[in-house]
Amino acid sequence: MHSVGICGSDVHYWQHGQIGDFVLKKPMVLGHEAAGRVVKVGSAVSHLKPGDRVAIEPGVPRDMDEFFKRGQYNLSPTIFFCATPPDHGNLCRYYTHNANFCYKLPDNVTFEEGALIEPLSVGIHACRRAGVTLGSTVLICGAGPIGLVSLIVAKAMGASKVIITDLFAERLGVAKELGADFQLTVKKDDGAQQLAKKVEEILGAQPQITIECTGVESCIQTALYATCSGGVVMLVGLGAAMTTVPLVNAAVREVDIRGVFRYCNTWPMAIAMLSSGKVNVKPLVTHRFPLEQAVQAFETTHQGLGIKVMLKCDKNDQNP
């Protein structure tokens, strides 16, 4: 292993020992945003050889079930997924993974960019499911790592105007650098309908697509009020199991509400986007720690400092 990013879910398991129905019953290795160098391959592996640099897709289907056959293997109930109980993650020095889910990195894509394909994939899957295309107008709620990758992908897919909201001006500053057309600083006590109005005023019209990346009830309400009639709201952020939302408002305006569970079939597209220079994820990495300082790295993410914290697992190569 070379570079492994820390995700909010890693921190959540570390702090609480569970996420929804996934409950830790015994110790588990964390980490699922990863890239490394091949040391050894199985006898049937022909597309990879020792020395190859690879990005790792953490979700590997175990069964050729209906979801697998439909190309929605991410929804398979028996899928293996790094750092989701009881499956171990890859925040370690050496790790074994299904070769079909290890993707060779071109020479011009770094290990860190390879690790960032995992969060980038969430953005790709969300934008694909939302139908982002040339000329789309998009609202993104939340400028954390997932909001920012959704922004990067939306712009790469042709969105003409993207407005992004967050509580923290520093994060919106990064969003501006990454191509956001408008940034809106929100406060915790802002009303959902008032914010929706503000978004419309800034954009000049209601957005066609809203990508909600916070999971916060008030933000989901804003997303539904803000989206134009006949538009789409993508729920990417995960919050409380039960949430109060203006469902009738959305229903009578034919606003589609769609969910996202991880991603599928995104690594080849992500690698092509990175290699061609169509997207730049390098500014997302704000902190780096050697593997020995993992606790400090996790504390940094837990405190909400920076954007993406990267752990360096190769003692002999601490470069990006």
108-129 pLDDT, tens digit each: 999 999 999 999 999 999 999 9
Average pLDDT for 289-301:
98
Residue in this structure with the two tokens 């028996």, named with its chain if needed: 78
Q: State pLDDT tens for residues 170-199.
A: 999 999 999 999 999 999 999 999 999 999
Q: Do residues 143 and 162 touch, judged by C-beta distance below 8 A?
A: no
Q: What percent of the chain has pLDDT over 70?
A: 100
Closest listed residue to residue 130, CA positions, set 98, 106, 153, 99: 153
Half-sphere exposure of 233 (CA within 13 A, CB side): 30
Q: Where are the domains of the chain?
A: 3-120+263-312, 129-259
pLDDT bucket at 165, cuts 50 / 70 / 90 = very high
pLDDT at 249: 98
Q: Do residues 180 and 210 touch, judged by C-beta distance below 8 A?
A: no
pLDDT at 290: 98
Could you check whether 3-120+263-312 and 129-259 share the same CATH topology? no
| Domain 3-120+263-312 = CATH 3.90.180.10 | yes
Question: For residue 184, what are the β-bridge partners?
Answer: 165
pLDDT at 229: 98
Closest listed residue to residue 165, CA positions, set 154, 157, 176: 176
Angle at the Cα of 114 from the Cα atoms of 110 and 119, rounded to 5 degrees: 135
pLDDT bucket at 50, cuts 50 / 70 / 90 = very high
Q: What is the mean pLDDT of the chain?
A: 97
- Full-model pTM: 0.97
Fold of 129-259: Rossmann fold (3.40.50)
pLDDT bucket at 159, cuts 50 / 70 / 90 = very high
Average pLDDT for 123-150:
98
User: Dihedral angle at the C-alpha atoms of 89, 16, 192, 134, nearest 10 degrees?
Assistant: 0
User: Dihedral angle at the C-alpha atoms of 257, 262, 268, 274, nearest 10 degrees?
Assistant: 90
Pairing mode of beta strands 161-166, 182-185:
parallel
Residue 152 phi, psi (nearest 5)? -60, -45
Quick one: residue 61, left, alpha or beta (phi over 0 = left, psi -120 to 50 = alpha)? Answer: beta
Average pLDDT for 139-157:
98
Count Cβ atoms below 10 Å from residue 64 Cβ, excluding itself: 10
